[in-house]
Amino acid sequence: MNFTDIFIRRPVLSIVLSSLILLLGIQSASQLDIRQFPKLEESVIHVTTYYHGASAETVQGFVTTPLQQRIAGARGVEYITSSSRQGISSITVHVRLGFNSNEALTAVITKINEARSVLPRDIENPIASTLAPGNALMYLAFYSETMGIEQVSDYLIRTVQPEVATIEGVGTAEMFGGKYFAMRIWTDPLLMAALGVTAEDIRTAIKNNNYVSTTGSTKGHWVITSVNAETDLNSTEEFGNIVVRQVDERRVRLQDVAKIELARRQSLL
């Protein structure tokens, strides 16, 4: 009697054993380690800082350099590259191969917070984001035969971009080449010098007169009334009437030292 005779006489037993061996093999194959090609984590951290109105040299000296000096000491950093443009500082931090990207991002944010004391007060808070190299990129182009480029940009940033950013698997959705309307103020240095007005006076006056106020609501026994205060400026005439300097009864308005126009603004992205 051979060993195989029992499987010939009992075909159900042979089917069960064969199925059991197949299932064990599939389970073992899924748990095997790939030693020849180990899984390594590689990531890049981008640090973007906006310093509106500053030249590239100012951004490099007062924003990019202090941030680089401190970020270089963060754990997991292999090397750093940077670029400075007018109003924008961009720092790319390359993390060591295999180092945890979340730990590296936390360390970089900590170093950024340490540098806040030496950075200019007028900058916006630095934005740090992580991105694994080699991620898939997709570019979508939009056009319209009835809307202008400013209207298309406004529609994309309000409607399309939020929807695309929430799709599963999408890390970030950015818009390139968008154009928007912006209030342009072209100052005349000769008139400013003659009237004793500085660039800081103009900046402070615009900041104090053009802002969004949240007044809240008033409550009574039976009625709750919402209060909306329109404190922002919308036209060139309103901007032109801003008082930038006053000596006794003499007032210097923005329109006296600058040319004001509503023009296109190129997107910073």
Domain with residue 54: its CATH number is 3.30.70.1430
Asked if the structure places residue 59 within a domain, the reply is yes
pLDDT digits (tens, 9 = 90+) for 53-77: 788 888 999 999 999 999 988 888 8
Residue among 232, 245, 241, 244 at smallest CA distance from 260: 241
What is the token pair recorded at 56? 């590239």
Mean pLDDT of 144-172: 81
Please report, to the nearest 10 degrees, the dihedral formed by the alpha carbons of residues 237, 241, 244, 247 taken in order: 160
**29 part of a folded domain:** no
Q: Do 168 and 218 have their domain in common?
A: no
Which among 234, 232, 229, 225 is positioned nearest to 214, based on CA atoms?
Answer: 229
State percent of the chain over pLDDT 70.
87
> Do 127 and 50 share a structural domain?
yes
The reply to whether 246 falls in a domain is yes
Give the 3-state secondary structure of residue 89.
strand
Tokens coding 195:
């009237």
2 belongs to a structural domain: no
Is 50 exceeded by the pLDDT of residue 269?
Answer: no
**Is 62 in the same domain as 99?**
yes
213 and 238 within one domain? yes
Q: What is the mean pLDDT of residues 104-115?
A: 90
Both 105 and 152 in one domain: the answer is no
The answer to whether residue 236 is domain-embedded is yes
Whether the pLDDT of residue 156 is over 90: the answer is no
Residues 188 and 209 in one domain: yes
Tell whether 235 is covered by a domain.
Answer: yes
Under DSSP, the state recorded for 256 is H
Q: Is the pLDDT of residue 15 over 50?
A: yes
Domain identity same for 125 and 48: yes
| CATH code: domain of residue 251 | 3.30.2090.10
pLDDT at 214: 65
197 is a domain residue? yes
- pTM as predicted: 0.56
Residues 60 and 73 grouped into a single domain:
yes
Q: Token pair 């053009």 is at which residue?
A: 210
Quick check: is 30 in a domain? no
Phi, psi dihedrals of residue 39, rounded to the nearest 5°: -80, 120
Residue 137 has φ and ψ, to the nearest 5°, of -120, 145
Is 59 found in the same domain as 112? yes
Give the count of beta carbons closer than 10 Å to the beta carbon of residue 100: 15
User: Taking Cα atoms as reference points, which of 99, 177, 92, 168 lies closest to residue 129?
Assistant: 92
φ/ψ of residue 80, rounded to 5: -130, 140
**Alpha-carbon span 95 to 102, nearest angstrom:** 11
User: Which residue, of 73, 107, 131, is where some domain finishes?
Assistant: 131
- Residue 40: pLDDT band (50, 70, 90) is low
Range of the domain at 222: 181-266
User: 202 and 159 in one domain?
Assistant: no
Structural domains in the chain (count)? 3
CB 94 within 8 A of CB 34: no
In this structure, the answer to whether residues 193 and 256 fall within a common structural domain is: yes
